[in-house]
């Protein structure tokens, strides 16, 4: 793993982070080398509970989500009649939902985002991922991936994602896996991994990014 980590020198510090703001000097350095930072208990429990309740209400059809939000069903359940929260793998494109937008614009998140990509930010994609513990083990195999495979805009160092678990997670039950230093590499082929839990995430880009 260490083999491909870049050496951070005074001249390279600042390539992947804007500087100042909500990150300490140490966090900036850590991000430059590893491509991520972890902040525990950063988003309030109240907001995470609201998002969890919103998810249940959306899945149970209590809320009309309109045309923008898509509910992605679990592929393993295609042939079965399963309803409610266990049938929905992903709430996709919920950027403008009344509750999800609170997460997207939460200063606890955006202050860190601006420290990384600068103050001129655009939220481009928000989703909730769900995999209940009792789901079919083959149901939610998500690849380890680089988001740049899916984003047409560049440059990569002006794009960042925030990811927040809605439930307690550790390495065994579904924490997000990250391969340190891969933000410095070219795009890599995908591999597969299994995750179990609920999370909400949002991707942000510097508004000056180009297609």
Ligand X SMILES: O=C(O)CCC(=O)C(=O)O
List residues near ligand X by CB under 6 A: 129, 142, 147, 161, 163, 176, 195, 199, 201
Residue (83 or 141) nearer to ligand X, CB: 141
Looking only at the bridges linking them, the beta strands covering 88-92 and 70-73 are antiparallel
Looking only at the bridges linking them, the beta strands covering 159-165 and 198-206 are antiparallel
Residue (56 or 141) nearer to ligand X, CB: 141
Read off the tokens for 160: 């960042």
Residue (40 or 80) nearer to ligand X, CB: 40
Minimal distance, residue 9 CB to ligand X, in Å: 30
Residue (29 or 136) nearer to ligand X, CB: 136
Minimal distance, residue 94 CB to ligand X, in Å: 13
Minimal distance, residue 30 CB to ligand X, in Å: 20
Residue (62 or 154) nearer to ligand X, CB: 154
Minimal distance, residue 194 CB to ligand X, in Å: 10
Minimal distance, residue 145 CB to ligand X, in Å: 6
Point out the residue whose Cβ comes nearest to ligand X.
201
């Amino acid at each position: 793993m260490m083999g491909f980590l870049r050496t951070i020198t005074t001249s390279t510090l600042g390539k992947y982070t804007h500087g100042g703001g909500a990150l300490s000097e140490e966090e900036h350095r850590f991000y430059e080398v590893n491509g991520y930072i972890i902040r525990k208990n950063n988003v309030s429990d109240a907001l995470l509970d609201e998002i969890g309740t919103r998810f249940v209400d959306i899945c149970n059809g209590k809320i009309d989500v309109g045309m923008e939000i898509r509910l992605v069903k679990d592929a393993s359940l295609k042939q079965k009649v399963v309803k409610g929260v266990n049938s929905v793998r992903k709430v996709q494109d919920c950027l403008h939902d009344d509750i999800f937008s609170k997460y997207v614009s939460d200063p606890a998140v955006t202050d860190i985002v601006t420290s990384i990509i600068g103050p001129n930010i655009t939220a481009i994609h928000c989703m909730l991922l769900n995999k209940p513990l009792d789901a079919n083990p083959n149901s939610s195999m998500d690849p380890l991936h680089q988001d740049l495979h899916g984003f047409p805009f560049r440059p990569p160092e002006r794009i960042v994602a925030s990811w927040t678990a809605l439930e307690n997670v550790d390495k065994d039950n579904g924490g997000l896996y990250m391969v340190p230093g891969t933000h410095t590499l070219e795009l890599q082929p995908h591999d597969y991994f299994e995750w179990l839990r609920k999370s909400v995430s949002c991707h942000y880009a510097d508004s000056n990014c180009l297609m």
